[in-house]
Amino acid sequence: MPILQLSQSLINKIAAGEVIERPASVLKELMENAVDACAKRIDVAVQRGGSELIRVVDDGCGIPADELQLAVASHATSKLSEADDLFRVGTLGFRGEALASIASVSRTVLRSRTPESDSGAELAVTGGVATEAVPCGCPVGTSVEVHNLFFNTPVRRKFLRTVQTEFGHTSEAFTRIALGVPHVQFTLRHNDRLVFDLPGCDGMFERIERLFGRELAEGLIHVESTDAQVRLSGYVADPMHSRANNRMQYVFLNGRYIRDRSLQHALSEAYRGLLTSGRYPIAFLTLDMPPETVDVNVHPTKLEVRFQDSGRLYSQLLSTLRSKFLATDLTVRVRPVDSGEPVGSYNSSRETELRQEVVDWAKEKVASWDTAAGPESAAQDAFSIGRASADRQPLEITRLDRAMAPPAGDMQTPARALQIHNRYLVTETEEGVTIIDQHALHERILYEQLRERVCSGEIETQNLLVPEPVDLAADEAAAALENRDLLAELGMKIEPFGGNTVLIAGFPAMLANLSPAEVLRELLDKLISGKREPDRGDLLDELLHTIACRAAVKAGDRLAPEEIDALLQQRRLVASSHHCPHGRPSELIFTREELDKRFKRV
């Protein structure tokens, strides 16, 4: 077939396919133009999710009447004048094809007036064909109405979803712009119903509260740091607030909403061990940096950017959040009785059961605090690790535990604790009552001890006098031999023995009471169960989780008084003792105020 020059109309429709995916795409482009026009107020109205009408009205600088035709022309913009401007973009929009693309697939009416003009001008565009601009009465600013989106591309219109689905996307586009510029006043109406009325405010916190509610806002933690020319600020949510996806992670670069996999990974790393598997953190973060240090011209929708030094930015975000978390008490506190069920990454039905157990315990006025031993026994025997069984002997001390235990002179009298169901410890504190999951807390303690040993290369291996042969499946044997060095870092020495059999020549000393073959198989399961090639650091961390979980005391294990005391002592020595390595809370706090409400004292 011969090569043909495409018509301008077809070129615009192709461009629209790149930029205009659905009504939400139109709204994004129009709102960005309004923000760039220095508007102080932006009013948005949509009908039927935006497929029938999208109207954006702003009080910005407006467009001169003699430039209205140019405003809807392809690649026409007031935001670039030379090629170098692409590398120091300071506005949200800049490509110059948005209005042309929108007008080519809709019936668009554009009205605008500048402060210097006594009247405004109106321009109508139908399917990319514009009329002459005519005078009209309108306030200073710009109004853009987009009717019947995709009316002339029925295939595209057929792929639109339900009204509610499209409005969900439209509302999300509105939210992203409104969060990025909290000083601007916004309203959003859908089918003549007011959805959002957001007054301008000094910072992001009030805007978050207006959009997502007070409950989430009260669970936010402020973060801020500066590294060279980059300023990071914003809010991240307490781990008790999380989501099943990452859509509640809002990152803004110089006011522009962006999606960056590296920053998302840094965010997940910062929350490692604070959220359970399958849960994602909530974040509202702003990055301010010189425009020339980032390329925003790498994707038509401008959602993806390219940083000049992405590694340094990754480290800044990770270290900022981790430092903040270490300095913040993230222990889960039970909500007041009149605020409904708690929302978090733990099992709320289990928490409800725990509430009742505490209330029953308090009603019966259990007087068995004397069963807890004094500080002398804790100083004599640091809490140890070993195989857990309901009728086992008291745990033996291991060198690892001795190394992590505080000197006898530094031991403080532990809070007296009650045994409940051989799984929870209840202690009295100045704040109220704390319930501790013995397995979750011990798991966190062991994990921190293991990680410190692995990082320093000091994990202790017990060489077996007679190596233990283990028959494995073919994929397990391959994984064992391929990851010998990694397993050795954990104190597990593996040697080939022919076929699918391997020899365990060395075993972590701290796991002396566990079956070497059983532990090896569990570690190999982690190695071969991933859907993609795992990161070495992530994999090592997963293996540490597995070992800590296997070695920790279990629910149902009866602890001796001295073991309880030692567990509570070591609780003070580790970071993030309020959560187990898998992100489950290890402690729940019932404040005196909460208990008073439940006993009708207030």
Going by C-alpha positions, the residue among 88, 125, 85 that lies closest to residue 104 is: 125
Pairing verdict, β 256-258 and 230-237: unpaired
pLDDT band of residue 1 (cuts 50, 70, 90) is low
pLDDT tens-digit series, residues 320-364: 999 999 888 888 877 654 444 333 333 444 444 444 554 454 444
| 235-256 pLDDT per residue, tens | 999 998 888 888 899 999 999 8
> 218 has which bridge partners?
none
Evaluate if residue 26 carries a pLDDT over 50: yes
Query: Phi and psi of 600, rounded to 5°?
Result: 60, 35
Give the tokens for residue 568: 């509570």
Which of 18-22, 80-84, 283-287, 315-319 bottoms out in mean pLDDT, i.e. has the lowest?
Answer: 80-84
- Specify whether the CB–CB gap between 51 and 157 falls below 8 A: yes
pLDDT digits (tens, 9 = 90+) for 368-405: 333 333 333 222 222 222 223 224 333 333 433 433 44
DSSP state of 365: T
What whole-number distance in Å separates Cα of residue 171 and Cα of residue 189?
A: 10
Q: What amino acid is encoded at 429 in this protein?
A: T
pLDDT at 178: 96
Q: For position 476, what pLDDT does the model report? A: 85
Is pLDDT above 70 for 410?
Answer: no
Per-residue pLDDT for 259 more than 60? yes
Backbone angles phi, psi at 14, to 5 degrees: -65, -45
d(CA 210, CA 185): 12
Q: Which domains does the chain have, with CATH numbers?
A: 8-200 (3.30.565.10), 205-326 (3.30.230.10), 335-449+553-598 (3.30.1540.20), 461-551 (3.30.1370.100)
Q: What is the pLDDT of residue 407?
A: 46
pLDDT class of 554 with cuts at 50, 70, 90 = confident
Give tens-digit pLDDT for 145-176: 999 999 998 888 988 988 988 999 999 999 99
Q: How far apart are CA 271 and CA 246, in angstroms?
A: 13
Q: What is the CA radius of gyration of the chain?
A: 31
Residues 6+ apart with CB under 8 A from 437: 423, 424, 555, 580, 584, 585, 586, 587
